[in-house]
Chains A and B, each alone.
Chain A
Amino acid sequence: MSESESGLAWQGVSSDALCWLELGDEVLVYHSGSGDTHLLDTLSASVLRLVCDRPLTLARLTALLADRPGIPRDELDGSELAALMKRFRRLGLVDVVKPC
């Protein structure tokens, strides 16, 4: 069963481990844990910021994003969000946890 189907939540690394830099519609984030720097678009950056605040299921994440200005609803596709979280997980930026 995949994380998206099991109702598990996604938790980002500690905010202290990330350093952000917004440059127009591109965002750079430095992860002190890996020493890597990642280039994100604004949607990906919003997602990462949200899951670094607290663990979120994909459903809850989608709802929170929908409330945010500047994020078109057609970009909030569940399967794309799930794929994004898996990419973040491979990069060591998020992990799967049981929802609170």
Chain B
Amino acid sequence: MLTSDLSIGQVTALLAEGRLALRTGPFLFRIRSSIPAISRGLTRLYARHTVEVDPPFSDFHVSLERSGGVRYLFRPQVRFLLDEWTPFKPLPLTQAFAMLEWGMNWCIANHAHHYLVLHAALVAKGDRALLLPGAPGSGKSTLCAALVQRGWRLFSDELALFDPATAEVVAVPRAVGLKNRSIEVIRHFAPAARIGPVARDTAKGSVAHMAVPEGQEEGGAPARVRWIVFPAFTEGAEEQIEPVTPARTMLELIEHAFNYSVLGERGFNLLGRVVQEAEGFRCTYGELEQVVERMEALAAK
């Protein structure tokens, strides 16, 4: 069943009872929340994703609840729970949907140790994937959103999941997080992109999420990473791309890994295989259209 098979009333009721689970790639998130922004966000940005009602098993049970106390009236807040645990401080209620997105990322990054998880955007052409590792502000999500709007397959804008057995990457197609100027940049770059409401004054500034393009919600087959590009957005910069040696590429990937130390030698062998199969580059850019063309050219070689 897809989210769009349910009315917003049904989604709201099922979420309030904690009976609805969202499938994203290999993970099933059972979500409980009575906050209207959560049901609105899911119906708008995850309309074509698979959902299950009362599944016998879910990977994660998450809840978003309004905080109690006096704040409830004056400065309403939302808190995120994994099972009965609250890993984060509460946020303003207006950031509820963004908190769900961040919370789901946190669940995967901190618990899915059967994968090597990298902080990176990931897109693909067929079975050949482009990995975009980067710190916040590097422009990886913006570039990822732009490439997806030009027909690249979305794996994730935040988490690259490598299967240690095969060295393949698996897709976790979720709404792409856009921050601050990127929101307008993508609206201008792809006017047809479906972008949700903007949450302002978050820890990351203004945040909005772009829906997964239609037809990509299931994620599709795994892929192998063929290009590793470390993006660095600099306002007004000339586009520049230079190769990075496999060893240095690997060291940088380790820096971007959430659970390399958990996997130990398996993680080392896995990343070794990845960098030997891929070409590594560092790419400075100031103009989105230019860098998108560069990535297209890389894939066409």
- Report which A residues bind B (CB closer than 8 A): 19, 21, 23-24, 26-28, 30, 32, 35, 37, 39
Alpha-carbon distance between A23 and B269 when the two chains are bound, in angstroms: 13
- Measured CA separation A86–B290 after assembly (Å): 47
B265 touches A23 (CB 8 A): no
Stretch of B8-16, B29-37, B246-254 lying at the A interface = B246-254
Contact A28 B247 (CB under 8 A): yes
Cβ of B245 under 8 Å from chain A: yes
Instruction: Tell me the nearest residue of chain A to B249, going by C-beta.
Output: A23
Q: Does B215 contact A (CB under 8 A)?
A: no
B178 sits at the interface (CB 8 A): no
Give the interface residue-count category, chain B. 10 to 19
Q: Which residues of B contact A19 (CB under 8 A)?
A: 265, 268-269
What is the CA–CA distance of A21 and B254 in the complex, to the nearest angstrom? 14
Q: B258-298: which residues lie under 8 A (CB-CB) from chain A?
A: 261, 264-265, 268-269, 272, 275-276
A interface, over-half SS: strand
CB neighbors of A among B233-258 (8 A): 245-248, 250-251, 254
Provide the residues of chain B in CB contact with A24, threshold 8 Å. Answer: 245-247
Residues of A near B246 (CB, < 8 A) are 23-24, 26
Q: Which residue of B lies closest to A40 (CB)?
A: B247
Establish whether residues A30 and B247, one from each chain, have CB atoms under 8 Å apart when the complex forms: no
Query: A32 touches which one: B250, B264, B276 (CB < 8 A)?
Result: B264
- Top 7 A-B pairs ranked by shortest CB distance? A26-B247, A30-B268, A23-B246, A23-B247, A21-B272, A35-B261, A19-B265
